[in-house]
Chains A and B, each alone.
Chain A
Amino acid sequence: MKKLISSCLFALFFSITTQHQSVSGQQYDKLNLDSQPLSNKVCATCHGSYGVGNPIVGGPSLAGLEPWYLKRQLEGFRAKHRGNETDYVPGNEMQVSVARLSDNEIEEVVSFIATWKPVEPEQTLSGDANNGSALYASCAACHGINGMGNELLGAPALVGRDDWYMARQLKLFMSGNRGGNPDDVYGQQMRAGVQALGSEQDINDVLAYINTMN
């Protein structure tokens, strides 16, 4: 079960409710988040409220993603570098969802998502974290020894991300479904890097190790 780490948003509420007070007459507490209806409509249905993620519809958590990385991925989906795999519907859905977004709208969505509080990542996989630690050595060059990422190298943080989502992405990089497009420079780097992982067990092991960094 995923919960918002931060409750400060809700702490601002004050309860005015008494038992059996009229629901329709309740003076609801308001908090202007200066939100963009676009972000709400476009993202929340699949990625959950405030980007907490929803694995049931294949929507990874978005809260806490670096804005520069998020922007690049939205542009990647729009350019059809991502989401082309024929056997995975959520990827296709993401592609069509952003196909009509303008540059301004992407900026708008990214800056709105940046206001969402990071969530605890889903940890669903089990693997050998010791073996994963050894495998991670080749990841650390770009993603950092603590998995915090490195914007200069275009490598996002790995801590804070859902393991089921990272497992899927590693497989996509391996098959070339992600990172196979010559215009996707960073994806190509990652595709080359991921060849260090030989098997599904390796993927589970390295993700088990990344889970320990959270």
Chain B
Amino acid sequence: MNKFVSRRELLSLIGKTGATAAVLKASTALGLVPETNVQFPDIPSVNPANRPAVVILGGGISGLTTAYELDKAGYDCVVLEAAPKAGGRCMTVRSGDLIDEVGNPQICEFDDEPHMYFNAGPARIPSTHRNLLRYCRELGVELEIFVNENKEAYVQDDAMFNGKPIKNAAVTTSARGFMAEIMAKNFTGHELDQPLNQYEAESLLSAIRSFGDLSEGDVFKGSTRSGYAHGGFIEHGVQKDVADFSELLKTDFMRMILGQNEGETGPVLFQPVGGMDKIVQGFTNKLEGKIYYDVMVASVNLNNGDGVEVTYEHKGMKYKIQADYCFNCIPSHLMTGIENNFDDNYIEAMRYVRRGEAYKSAFQAKTRFWEKDDIYGGISWTNQKIQQIWYPPHGVFKDKGVILGAYDYGGGMHFTKLSQEERLETAIRQGQKVHPEYRDQVEKGITIAWHRMNHMLGCAARWARNRDGMTADEERLYRTLQQPAGGRHYMIGDQISVHSAWQESAILSAHWAINDMVKRQSGISTMPGQKLS
């Protein structure tokens, strides 16, 4: 026999399914908006006659940030990049671009149009990522609004409504309506043990009613917030049927959908006009002649606390370079295969970090078929392996568009292990469950398996191996790798953050390292020549 649950237990239960922010504080990793206490670097200008030499390994966002800031302050910087272009995972794919996956190189065949691009790595900038936004402003990177959540996009789960896709709005209104009904009917300030006066209690009750769009008697009878079945402008609107709440309970999507509008994926989000790599171009424009491409770092050795020696190969030639400081955003799991003389603790930490496995694919759409369905930007969710379909928020009403056909952002290697043909066929087959016309509409698919991308072999690094966050041991390893080896070699990148997979984290890791270097330099003479007294 089923046990009846108390109101408090029910509220707690509802909290677990993601009903209210009040109950559900910090429920998902994505829902958190981390604050930072890393100051924007204030780097004392160096004496032009005595410029410290800095070698930066890797032209990812953190490497470019470091080069840009130190170059401004007069440091003598070079960036060594293994790929033929900078940016690391900040990568936008357009017509003719190479996707350099080990064993599966692809050339993108999208139409050559400014709006026909795909952000294969980061694709959205939260408005709270103020350091990244500051660089966009400073580097002249034009931004536009990115639409993450779209109530007209679909939610599809094989376990729900016989697999038929339903509009996000139907999920949201129904979920909120039924939850609010339960809360309102059972609500008294007293029973909640809340120190509420009568006014506050009424105010809360009124908010609950509004949250769920409840009808008279605190009953949920559906909501026009999910749109009309027909009419509504000239003729009276006929409300849509209520999405059966019991169907929604068959899936995990209530939690996913209701959480999307808050935290880092909540409004407002931005994207650079023309592709995320406009940020990379913004940096590289300021670093002309300082970035060297097709450079494979072969060794990184500390010189007894007096700088760093780096050897590398370029087009079959081998080179050596001496620098006072080294900032290194090579993925730690690749750095372990590059000769070095770091101490054992540092190497232990480098070896601990796990490689991320994120996967994305994209198609050129022959028509913007989603617009016929009132969808302009945003994401459809599905329980299939593709997980998401993204519609471009830009290029509205143009003939074609590029859509994201799969985004496995978690720990899945499902797609990575498939052949290119299997990857695309799977994406088409699964996309058809959301859009029946999908197969006829999409073409020229591309895939990006970050786990196999050349010179990277991984997406965002992961320190914690369980969902509860970092253990004390992991914290120790993280702090070890954050500290400069020999006071001269800094690992940087979102791998040196507790919030990887964001460009803001990469930037802040660079800021942290720069600040640390400046702090260690204080007291060092900025005058030319050797200090005698």
Asked whether B78 lies within 8 Å of A23 as measured between CB atoms, the reply is yes
B50 interface residue per 8 A CB criterion:
yes
Cβ < 8 Å to A, chain B residues 436-459: 451-452, 454-455, 457
Given the interface contacts A26-B321, A52-B337, A54-B337, does A44 sit within 8 Å of B296 by beta carbon?
yes
Asked whether B316 lies within 8 Å of A36 as measured between CB atoms, the reply is yes
B339 interface residue per 8 A CB criterion:
yes
A76 interface residue per 8 A CB criterion:
no
Residues of B near any A CB (own CB < 8 A): 50-55, 76-78, 102-104, 289-290, 296-299, 307, 311, 313, 315-324, 333-334, 336-342, 344, 347, 350-351, 355, 413, 416-417, 451-452, 454-455, 457
A92 interface residue per 8 A CB criterion:
yes
Cβ < 8 Å to B, chain A residues 49-65: 49-50, 52-57, 59
A-B contact pairs, 28 of them (CB 8 A): A3-B339, A4-B339, A10-B311, A20-B52, A22-B76, A23-B55, A23-B323, A26-B321, A26-B322, A28-B319, A30-B318, A30-B319, A32-B316, A34-B316, A35-B313, A35-B316, A45-B457, A49-B337, A55-B336, A56-B350, A57-B457, A86-B417, A89-B413, A89-B416, A89-B451, A96-B104, A97-B102, A98-B103
Asked whether B316 lies within 8 Å of A23 as measured between CB atoms, the reply is no
Q: Which stretch from A11-19, A67-75, A146-154 is at the chain B interface?
A: A11-19
How many angstroms from the CA of A47 to the CA of B351 in the assembled complex?
15
Report A-chain residues with C-beta under 8 Å of the C-beta of B451: 89
Asked whether B336 lies within 8 Å of A15 as measured between CB atoms, the reply is no
In the complex, what's the smallest C-beta–C-beta distance from B100 to chain A, in angstroms? Answer: 9
How many angstroms from the CA of A100 to the CA of B350 in the assembled complex?
32
User: Which of A21, A24, A54, A99 has the most B CB atoms < 10 Å from its CB?
Assistant: A24
- Across the interface, A57 reaches (CB within 8 A) one of B50, B320, B340, B355, namely B355
In the complex, what's the smallest C-beta–C-beta distance from B336 to chain A, in angstroms? Answer: 5
Asked whether B338 lies within 8 Å of A28 as measured between CB atoms, the reply is no
Report B-chain residues with C-beta under 8 Å of the C-beta of A15: 320, 322
In the complex, what's the smallest C-beta–C-beta distance from B422 to chain A, in angstroms? Answer: 12
Given the interface contacts A1-B344, A24-B289, does A56 sit within 8 Å of B337 by beta carbon?
yes
- Across the interface, A56 reaches (CB within 8 A) one of B313, B322, B336, namely B336
Q: Nearest B residue to A35 by beta-carbon distance?
A: B316
Report A-chain residues with C-beta under 8 Å of the C-beta of B103: 93, 95-100
Report B-chain residues with C-beta under 8 Å of the C-beta of A42: 102
Count of A residues near B, CB < 8 Å?
Answer: 53
Report B-chain residues with C-beta under 8 Å of the C-beta of A32: 316-318
Report B-chain residues with C-beta under 8 Å of the C-beta of A10: 311, 320
Report B-chain residues with C-beta under 8 Å of the C-beta of A1: 340-342, 344, 347
Asked whether B417 lies within 8 Å of A92 as measured between CB atoms, the reply is yes
Report B-chain residues with C-beta under 8 Å of the C-beta of A33: 313, 316-318
Residues of A near any B CB (own CB < 8 A): 1-4, 9-10, 13, 15, 17, 19-24, 26, 28-37, 40-42, 44-50, 52-57, 59, 86, 89, 92-93, 95-100
Smallest CB-CB A-B distances: 6 pairs: A48-B337, A54-B337, A96-B103, A17-B322, A28-B319, A23-B53
How many angstroms from the CA of A32 to the CA of B319 in the assembled complex?
9
Report A-chain residues with C-beta under 8 Å of the C-beta of B452: 93, 96
Report B-chain residues with C-beta under 8 Å of the C-beta of A89: 413, 416-417, 451
Asked whether B338 lies within 8 Å of A31 as measured between CB atoms, the reply is no
Given the interface contacts A40-B313, A59-B337, does A50 sit within 8 Å of B76 by beta carbon?
no
How many angstroms from the CA of A19 to the CA of B102 in the assembled complex?
39
How many angstroms from the CA of A56 to the CA of B458 in the assembled complex?
12
In the complex, what's the smallest C-beta–C-beta distance from A96 to chain B, in angstroms? Answer: 3
Asked whether B296 lies within 8 Å of A57 as measured between CB atoms, the reply is no
How many angstroms from the CA of A34 to the CA of B320 in the assembled complex?
17
In the complex, what's the smallest C-beta–C-beta distance from B452 to chain A, in angstroms? Answer: 6
How many angstroms from the CA of A22 to the CA of B76 in the assembled complex?
6
In the complex, what's the smallest C-beta–C-beta distance from B207 to chain A, in angstroms? Answer: 49
Report A-chain residues with C-beta under 8 Å of the C-beta of B337: 44, 46-49, 52-54, 56-57, 59
Q: Nearest A residue to B454 by beta-carbon distance?
A: A45
